[in-house]
Amino acid sequence: MTIGFEVVAREGAARRGRLVTAHGAVETPVFMPVGTAATVKAMTAEGVAATGARLVLGNTYHLMLRPGAERIAALGGLHHFMNWPYAILTDSGGFQVMSLAKLRKIAEDGVTFRSHLDGSAHLLTPERSVEIQRLLGADVTMALDECTPYPSAPDTVERSMELSMRWAERSRRAFVERPGHGIFGIVQGGVHPDLRRHSATRLNEIGFDGYAVGGLAIGEGQATTFAVLDATVPALPAGRPRYLMGVGKPADLVGAVMRGIDMFDCVLPTRSGRTAQAFTRSGVVNLRNARHADDPAQLDPECCCPACTGYSRAYLHHLSRAGEILGSMLLTAHNLQYYGDLMAAMRAAIEAGTFAAFAAAFENEG
């Protein structure tokens, strides 16, 4: 294994850990801001770092299409290209191929598709996905998987999961070991506990640096997500990081940490920032509502972000109603700060042995 991970504190299934990469240590549980196309939308790299983030997500599908993995490699790799000195995890592109690409066809070799940008034809295999992520210089590479639509019949889910496991084995073989870099496998199996456990066992046999739970947050609901985690997480190696992909709302993060998840990503805080939705310690605030037009109060008095320390709710309301770019920038920074603060609070609570009380209080406040 070429990427380091240690669990430094536990409370129940919740873990306080440290992931060590070629570009520094990442304290877990951690939320990764989504920088799909080599940028976290409406943010500078310095602004992202100011929220406490030390790990961001990039995406194979988008970067292979534009500007191209070989071009980024020639320009010094993704870290240099986007001026991000800390760790990067790259999604394999599987989800985007299924959700964005045109005329896709899945076969044993990989998936052929036409770009949603210009219609050009491409073949993405496990080997090519891993190669692209190596060219980008990702600290954490993800194995290529098929994202099964929800809902699907159990036999369809099983066939899809088995294909993902064969692709996982090929992805692992294609990965080039180097210090501080690792590859994660992705558990699939829909909402079926037996398939999830089988997938986790197969990935453990292959042997990965970390294990992700994919194929959730696609309409199944929080209770079902948590039930899948209850069935899956105990089957994952205790000494490796666990990543829940594409999740989610603050309550989802707290519940998943309670079930032993260490890593998260989601577009929700950045997308919400661009639509005037702000996460605060007193709930979600829609800055477009007219009731904020004359409000001189801070957005969140306990927050240290620029939106909260320098501007009023009235000004943020004005920016959102006027369609000013600054509104998206300030609220995106705020939401990422909120998520970063939430993860830091969970880490502190696990260390102190008070996480159960923290989670109960968070649920009651929500």
Report the alpha-carbon distance of residue 193 to residue 252 in Å, rounded: 19
Residue 121 sits at φ, ψ, to 5 deg, of: -90, 140
Kindly state the DSSP code that residue 130 receives in the 8-state scheme. Answer: H
Active site annotation includes 118: no
In order, the DSSP letters of 239-282 are TS-EEETTB--HHHHHHHHHTT--EEE-SHHHHHHTTTEEEETT
Report the alpha-carbon distance of residue 255 to residue 216 in Å, rounded: 14
The neighbouring-strand residues paired with 55 are: 87
Single out the catalytic residue among 139, 145, 209, 265. Answer: 265
In order, the DSSP letters of 35-52 are -TTSS-TT--HHHHHHTT
In order, the DSSP letters of 188-251 are --TT-HHHHHHHHHHHHHH--SEEEE-S-SSSS-HHHHHHHHHHHGGGS-TTS-EEETTB--HH
Angle at 222 between CA 287 and CA 32, to 5 degrees: 65
Report the alpha-carbon distance of residue 350 to residue 331 in Å, rounded: 29
**Structure-token pair, residue 191:** 């909402």
Active site annotation includes 145: no
**Structure-token pair, residue 319:** 């920016």
Cite the active site residues: 91, 265
